[in-house]
Copies of this chain bind each other. A is one copy, B any other.
Amino acid sequence: MEGDLAHIGAGLAAIGSGAAAIGVGNVAGNFLSGALRNPSAAAGQTATLFIGIAFAEALGIFAFLVSLLLMFAV
């Protein structure tokens, strides 16, 4: 058995990256659901859509960053 234990950690961190996509999907999905019911209000909530995506995406990118650090920096 060879290899570095940090590589197991990198794989585990990538699960976090994928899990964050559930949050992103929830934001965009609810926006689409509401925008198709009331299209005239959609333009006014576009900023909120991107704010919600940004905050959820950031956590996924943090997990991806941990993956990269575990593979190449630790």
Interface residues in chain A, defined as those with a beta carbon under 8 Å from any beta carbon in chain B? 1-39, 41-42, 44-46, 48-49, 51-53, 55-64, 66-74
Given pairs A4-B6, A5-B7, A10-B11, 20 additional interface contacts (CB within 8 A): A4-B74, A5-B8, A7-B9, A10-B66, A11-B12, A15-B63, A16-B18, A16-B19, A17-B59, A19-B22, A21-B21, A21-B56, A25-B25, A25-B56, A27-B32, A28-B49, A30-B33, A31-B36, A42-B44, A59-B60
Chain multiplicity (copies): 3
Q: Report yes or no: B45 in contact with A42, Cβ–Cβ below 8 A.
A: yes
Instruction: For A70, give the chain B residue with the smallest CB separation.
Output: B7
Chain B residues near A41: list those with CB within 8 A: 35-36, 39
